Each structure stands twice: as C-alpha cells, then as structure tokens.
C-alpha cells in the first residue's frame, strides 16, 4: 500500500525509459557515469596532491566544459 501510494505521489519523477530508448535520446546504462565518478575520486586522492574542497566544483565545471568543447 505504502509503495503504491509513493509511486502515485512521485509519478512525475519516474523516468520513462521506453520513451528515451525508442527515441534513441540516451543510453539507460549508468556505467559511464559511475566510471567517471571513480576516476575523479581517484584523482582527488592522489598521494601528495592537495585539493581545496571549495575548488573541486570549479575544476569539475571546467573539465565538463572542456569535454563538451564549450571552452
């Protein structure tokens, strides 16, 4: 009962994967994102490297811009 109620309340948040797959908008798999997160995590933990936590979002923003050819 609680689960069905939850689904009704949050229906607008549930992704319609069939639509995205049929329209070939994007892949359903999250492997690429998870791999990127692991790579960033490893870089932040490099021995001897010093990262200011406040600067990390800016670094990631610039990295995304570079990868999207929007610099």
Report, as an integer, the average pLDDT of 15-24: 82
Number of domains composing the chain = 1
1-12 burial, b at 16+ Cβ within 10 Å, e below that, comes to eeeeeeeeeeee
Mean of per-residue pLDDT scores for the chain: 85
Asked if the structure places residue 42 within a domain, the reply is no
Asked if the structure places residue 57 within a domain, the reply is no
Asked if the structure places residue 54 within a domain, the reply is no
Rg (Cα) of the chain, in Å, rounded?
18
Cα distance between residue 51 and residue 60, in whole Å: 12
The confidence score (pLDDT) of residue 61 equals 92
Q: What is the pLDDT of residues 21-50, one digit of tens each?
A: 788 877 667 787 888 889 888 988 888 888
For the chain, the straight-line distance linking the first and the last C-alpha, in angstroms and rounded, comes to 50
Quote the domain boundaries for residue 2: 1-30
Report, as an integer, the average pLDDT of 2-28: 84
Asked if the structure places residue 19 within a domain, the reply is yes
């Amino acid at each position: 009962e609680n689960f069905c109620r939850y689904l009704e309340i949050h229906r607008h948040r549930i992704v319609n994967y069939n639509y995205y797959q049929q329209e070939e908008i994007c892949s359903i798999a999250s492997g690429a994102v998870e791999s990127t997160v692991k790579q960033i995590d490893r870089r932040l933990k490099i021995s001897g490297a010093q990262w200011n936590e406040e600067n990390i979002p800016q670094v990631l923003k610039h990295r995304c811009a570079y990868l999207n050819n929007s610099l």
